[in-house]
Chain A
């Protein structure tokens, strides 16, 4: 069974640009969550999607957005990139997103802002 796939693995952008990251969940998983991981802030929850609907979001500015498609694949977009957006972005999936289910993580996309 294929795991969670995130593309690309590495990305370099400059300030002011925008970026789109992709996540393909495990087959049969309909919940996708996104996290930002930095050395200073640790793992910060961005948002969670289920059946194309955002059910929860973290405390991030509106520059961070996401969406989910009918096949459960998800994308997140960051506009007007800032140096502080440099981070490892992790995607995680679970079957229904119920809180007692563990999450299955991808290996992440490492975003560097120059």
Chain B
């Protein structure tokens, strides 16, 4: 079975500071990993995905994530936070043939002016 753990339910950064949202996964087979963002009263939007190609994945809005198999991690980063980045972020995992995506509990990002 697969699982995802997001460390920190809330993260607060200042505008212009580095954003780091942590995600660790568990899977007995090679995983596919995703980061999604959710703004208030909306559904989830894909930020980026890892599907066994390059380990450093670049997404939309300046976000990127690095797949580290040895650490079973897929942390999300952005060099400089913007006020518009304030939202909830979800890490997710799926495996081939599963027809099911498992989501982490989410991390709410606050950006201070």
Contacts and interface: CB of A to CB of B under 8 A. Distances in A.
Contacts, number: 61
B95 A99 contact: yes
Main DSSP-derived SS at the A contact region: strand
Interface residues of B, number: 25
Contact of A90 (B43, B49, B99): B43
Contact of A56 (B34, B46, B98, B106): B98
B44 A90 contact: yes
Main DSSP-derived SS at the B contact region: loop
Given A106-B43, A107-B41, A107-B43, A43 B90 contact: yes
A42 B95 contact: no
A8 to B, nearest CB: 14
A107 B99 contact: no
A99 B94 contact: yes
B34 to A, nearest CB: 6
Given A42-B106, A99-B32, A105 B100 contact: no
Nearest to B103: A43
B104 A42 contact: yes
Interface string B35-54: 01000011111100101000
Interface string A83-114: 00000001010000111101111111000000
B32 A100 contact: yes
Contacts of B90: 43
A75 interface: no
Contact of B105 (A42, A45, A98, A100): A42
A97 B99 contact: yes
Contacts of B36: 105
A68 to B, nearest CB: 13
B102 interface: yes
A55 interface: yes
B26 interface: no
B45 A105 contact: yes
Interface of B: 32, 34, 36, 41-46, 49, 51, 90, 94-106
